[in-house]
Amino acid sequence: MARPATRTPPTPAARDAAGSEWWRTAVIYQIYPRSFADSNGDGIGDLPGITARLDALVELGVDAVWLSPFFTSPQKDAGYDVADYTDVDPLFGTLADFDALLARAHALSLKVIIDLVPNHSSSAHPWFQAALASAPGSPERARYLFRDGLGADGDVPPNNWQSVFGGPAWTRVNEADGTQAPRKAQWYLHLFDTSQPDFDWTNDEVKELFRGVLRFWLDRGVDGFRVDVAHGLAKKEGLPDWTPDPSLGMSDHQEAAPYWAQPGVHPIYRDWHEVLAEYGPDRILTGEAWVEPLSKLADWVRPDEMQQTFNFTFLETPWDGPRLKKVVDDSLAAFGGVGAPSTWVLSNHDVIRHATRLALTPPPPQGEGLGPNTKLYPDDVVGLRRARAATAFMLALPGSAYLYQGEELGLPEVIDLPDSARQDPTFFRTSGANYGRDGARVPLPWDVASPSFGFGPAGVSGPGASRDDASWLPQPATWPSYARDAQLGIPGSTLEFYREALAARRTHHLASNELVWLPSPDPAVLVFRSGAVTVIANTGATPAALPDGRVVLASGPVGTDRVPGDTTAWIVT
């Protein structure tokens, strides 16, 4: 395939002319609205709750926030099932609440990115309802992927695709016109839950809908969009059968799947790039594209497509010196080759929190999650030590970094959620075989002493009390030690470690410096130089020699001349 011409990163002067290009170096903090802060005591986080807590993010030292969906939605997949793309769900507040949030964030110099969910709508979207009420072959059906079934009665799904959440990717409808049932009743495609029908992105009305959605939010002043399932919008013509080969790695799966990483996604992003450009040079698209290898993912951030894309190859790399070095080199080469910044991420709402994941070698595959029957017993102490070391390594790398709410508190994955509390459709579509992602979504602890640890005004406090009514997923009784106010100003706490890291990253321009590897006698120990800073990350168990100079950040205790295992330090010489 033809590669794009290499784009040299612009000089600082050219950048000013083009805008700040803030996203090349930004630390972007993911807010998961339902679990951040609850203002009205219904146990679910909301927009006014976020607005009231934005100061804490300034105090932390991030540049931008990304909000997971808060749009009108039946919440079958925690809001990634959108019924109205241009309104706020009453659960989270109103459009006026959103405007207030945005104004407050901008007053605090925080950029705001919102989630765009273009692969599918909710089945409650008026378009899908209209499709159900219309006949096969109608223009209403043509906005989605309706097909006739196979077999004499059409009762075999149109192809063999499986949903990401488990089970078939097709559901058969009850035709509105009873005379057609059952033989002619059609099926619709949903790569995720049955409540998330996939759009047909060859349909012009779909394209026009989303141009309008972009403009609606850009007009309100948002700084950009995180594009959900940015590798899935285009499906291979004819929707051919496809069976994943379990012996192949993820990248091979991605190459072959007729619904991932199809070339047809790129014209869509070129079109959106132009819409954003109408609003000046500083609005961005960030792709959630699970695509490997990185050299292929770089296609998403060619000069006329998105500004950024998540680096899940980095996220999925174990805490292992040689493998980390390789993924950093591959990332810088792939993204740099198209003039895009590399991005880095360790946690989000879809994966096992890295304070738990890094204690598991190997962790379960993404989506399986952890629960009482997984029979894996990650060591929280080891996990947090590695998580802090990995974070210190990540925040020293050139480019833009993503943080997920709660990682600055060192929160572990919650493993012992009762089945009755779980809400991830993955759990239900696999009959409980996969626990899914709820363990990473438990509402944040803010204050030791308050009901629901300050998540919201409802609930009870005190030893042994149940917080089930106070937060939509129960917070573990062990969480007071993680509460924000138990860590703020406490030397050595994870929160203070994050604050120091973000401040030193800024002071020493780590996000924009060039990375130069330095020799290391032990492959488990990575050493690189970034401007005046030497970074040493010891992924092994044997202590390493501490480079000369002044330690400006350490993920854990360091000796006068030794960096212990699972520890990262930044040294200024």
User: Of 29 and 319, which CB lies nearer to ligand GLC in the complex structure?
Assistant: 29
Measure CA 167 to chain center: 24
Task: Answer yes or no: 438 catalytic.
Answer: no
Site residues, Ca ion (CB under 5 A) = 38, 40, 42, 44, 46
Rule CB under 6 A: is residue 438 a binding residue for ligand GLC?
no
Task: Work out how close the CB of 46 gets to Ca ion at its nearest, in angstroms, rounded to a whole number.
Answer: 4
Q: Which residues pair with 346 in a beta bridge?
A: none
Q: Which residues pair with 112 in a beta bridge?
A: 65
Task: Answer yes or no: 278 catalytic.
Answer: yes
Q: Which does 44 bind (CB under 5 to 8 A by kind): ligand GLC, Ca ion, none?
A: Ca ion
User: Of 269 and 482, which CB lies nearer to ligand GLC in the complex structure?
Assistant: 269
- C-alpha distances in Å from residue 160, one per residue of 156, 184, 246, 430: 9, 19, 16, 17
Of 63, 228, 305, 330, the catalytic one is 228
Q: Which does 393 bind (CB under 5 to 8 A by kind): ligand GLC, Ca ion, none?
A: none
CA distance 396 to 342: 12
Contacts of 354 (CB under 8 A, 6+ apart): 346, 347, 383, 387, 390, 391, 407
User: Of 307 and 475, which CB lies nearer to Ca ion in the complex structure?
Assistant: 475
Spatial contact of 387 and 393, defined as CB atoms under 8 Å apart: no
Q: Which does 305 bind (CB under 5 to 8 A by kind): ligand GLC, Ca ion, none?
A: none
Range 271-330, binding ligand GLC (CB under 6 A)? 288
Of 278, 304, 416, 561, the catalytic one is 278
Range 190-209, binding ligand GLC (CB under 6 A)? 192
User: Of 80 and 335, which CB lies nearer to ligand GLC in the complex structure?
Assistant: 80
Give the closest residue to 235 by CA, choosing from 206, 272, 213, 209: 206
Range 335-354, binding ligand GLC (CB under 6 A)? 349-350
Q: Is 135 buried (19+), middle (13-18) or exposed (0-12) by CB count in 10 A?
A: middle
Range 132-191, binding ligand GLC (CB under 6 A)? none
> Residues 54-83 vs ligand GLC: string with x where CB under 6 A?
-----------------------x--x---
- For residue 539, the one-letter residue type is T
Q: Which does 22 bind (CB under 5 to 8 A by kind): Ca ion, ligand GLC, none?
A: none
Task: Work out how close the CB of 433 gets to ligand GLC at its nearest, in angstroms, rounded to a whole number.
Answer: 17
Task: Work out how close the CB of 317 gets to Ca ion at its nearest, in angstroms, rounded to a whole number.
Answer: 37
Give the closest residue to 234 by CA, choosing from 327, 148, 145: 145
Give the closest residue to 15 by CA, choosing from 391, 570, 512: 512
User: Of 332 and 473, which CB lies nearer to ligand GLC in the complex structure?
Assistant: 473
Spatial contact of 538 and 564, defined as CB atoms under 8 Å apart: yes
User: Of 289 and 483, which CB lies nearer to ligand GLC in the complex structure?
Assistant: 289
Strand 170-172 to strand 27-31: parallel, antiparallel, or no bridges (unpaired)? unpaired
Q: How many Cβ atoms are within 10 Å of 66's Cβ, its own excluded? A: 23
Spatial contact of 454 and 443, defined as CB atoms under 8 Å apart: no
Q: How many Cβ atoms are within 10 Å of 485's Cβ, its own excluded? A: 17
Radius of gyration of the chain (CA): 24
Give the closest residue to 356 by CA, choosing from 317, 423, 411: 411
User: Of 21 and 81, which CB lies nearer to ligand GLC in the complex structure?
Assistant: 81
Rule CB under 6 A: is residue 228 a binding residue for ligand GLC?
yes
> Residues 446-485 vs ligand GLC: string with x where CB under 6 A?
----------------------------------------
3-state class (DSSP) for residue 247: coil
| Closest residue to ligand GLC, based on beta-carbon distance | 80
Q: Which does 217 bind (CB under 5 to 8 A by kind): Ca ion, ligand GLC, none?
A: none
Q: Which does 80 bind (CB under 5 to 8 A by kind): ligand GLC, Ca ion, none?
A: ligand GLC
Active site residue ranges = 228, 278
Chain contacts with ligand GLC (rule: CB under 6 A): 77, 80, 117, 192, 228-229, 288, 349-350
